[in-house]
Structures are given as structure tokens and as C-alpha cells.
Amino acid sequence: MATTVVCPGSFDPITMGHLDIITRASKMFDNVIVLVSCNTAKTPLFSAEERMEMIKKSTANLKNVTVDSDDGLLADYMRKVDACAIVKGLRAVSDFEYEFQMALTNKKLNSNADTVFLTAGAENMYLSSSIVKSVGKLGGDIKNFVPDVIYDDICTRLKSC
Ligand code: PNS
């Protein structure tokens, strides 16, 4: 049976760290859905449509990756698409408590929603969307932090903030 997994996140915007996790997941599973989800604790800078478009451009070469958005519970979305696992990246110990809490909550809400953690690549350990926005807004070079194909889009957008 074909395996479908979901890589959820805010992706505000997608970073090289996200792309690394998505690329590695695409080699392990048959279908990967990158899901722009709602994090009630965050106010995104980019609209869901903008974030989806940036992910589509960044993953255009990965044929088994699709992009979607959802503003409901991840546990319900997992049921809707019949996915077998949630795939998330873990950067450091500081991520662990938050990710562990979400993994257990999702499992409680949907007994089929298991979470698979991939260790972030050493070169991306420090990277986050917040760092990218913070550096970019202050005129720093974010070239090494985001996929090449969306670099110009992000710079233009950050300058207008
Ligand atoms: O990139 P983020 O912001 O750390 O991702 C967190 C996200 C969006 C995956 C999480 O907030 C989420 O799953 N949101 C969907 C709504 C939901 O199911 N909330 C309960 C999570 S336990």
C-alpha cells in the first residue's frame, strides 16, 4: 500500500531547514503532503496562499510532494487524506518538549496519527523562519537560509514590511 505522510508547519516562510526535511521525507515515503497549517500561537507575515506558492516553487523538482493548506486540526486532516504519519524536523533539545507535546496530543486525537521525527541537518540546526524574517527585515543577507527560487520574492516582500 502506498504511504502518504504529512509535513505540517507554519512555513512563514519555508527555509532550507524545512526543505531538507521535506526532501528526505520524499525519499522515504510514496507521497508527501506539505501542509500549511494554523498555529494559533503565531501571527504569520505571509498569507497562506503566499506560503503555499513559495513551497510549491521550492519543491517543484520533487515529484511525489504536493502542497495544501488547512485551518483545522491536524489530527482531522490526517484522517481526511488517510495519511500514515506526520513528519517533523527536530533541530535541538529545545524543540523536543514542544514537539513531543504536539505528537502526543495528535495521537490522542487520532490514534492513527503517529509522528516521525527527522534530525535536522547539522548545517540547519540554528535556522528558523523567525530568524530569516528578523535578519531579512534588517537588511541582512538571507541567501543561505532560504531556497534560491524564492530568494527574490522574500527579499522584495520583507523590504515592504
Ligand atoms: O511551524 P510550526 O508553527 O511550529 O508548526 C506548528 C503546527 C502548525 C504544525 C501546529 O501548530 C499544528 O499542528 N497546527 C494545526 C492545528 C492543530 O492541530 N493544533 C493542535 C496541535 S497539537
Q: Is 144 close to ligand 1, i.e. is its CB under 6 Å away?
A: no
Q: Is the predicted pLDDT of residue 88 greater than 90, yes or no?
A: yes
For residue 41, the ligand 1 atom closest to its alpha carbon is 11
Contacts of 62 (CB under 8 A, 6+ apart): 22, 23, 26, 32
In a domain, 44, yes or no: yes
The count of domains in the chain is 1
Question: What pLDDT digit, counting tens, does each position of 6-57 carry?
Answer: 999 999 999 999 999 999 999 999 999 999 999 999 999 999 999 999 999 9
Q: What domain range includes position 14?
A: 4-125
**Cα distance between residue 72 and residue 99, in whole Å:** 18
CATH number for the domain that contains residue 81: 3.40.50.620
Give the ranges where the chain is alpha helix by DSSP (H). 16-28, 48-58, 74-81, 93-109, 129-137, 148-159
Q: Is position 160 within any domain?
A: no
> How many A from CA of 38 to the centre of ligand 1?
6
User: Is residue 144 assigned to a domain?
Assistant: no
C-alpha cell at 129: 523562519
Q: How far is CA 61 from the centre of its chain?
A: 17
Residue 152: inside a domain, yes or no? Answer: no
Q: How many whole angstroms separate alpha carbon 6 and alpha carbon 115? A: 9
Residues 44, 11 contacting (CB under 8 angstroms): no
Q: What is the pLDDT of residue 21?
A: 97
91 tagged catalytic: yes
Please give the distance, rounded to the nearest whole angstrom, from the Cα atom of residue 39 to the centre of ligand 1.
5
Strands 85-90 vs 65-70: parallel, antiparallel or unpaired: unpaired
Q: Is 0.95 surpassed by the pTM of this model? A: yes
**129 flagged as catalytic:** yes
Torsion angle in degrees (nearest 10) through CA of 144, 146, 152, 156: -110
In a domain, 154, yes or no: no
The model's pLDDT over 128-157, given as tens digits with 9 standing for 90+, comes to: 999 999 999 998 999 999 999 999 999 988
Residue 111 has pLDDT above 90, yes or no: yes
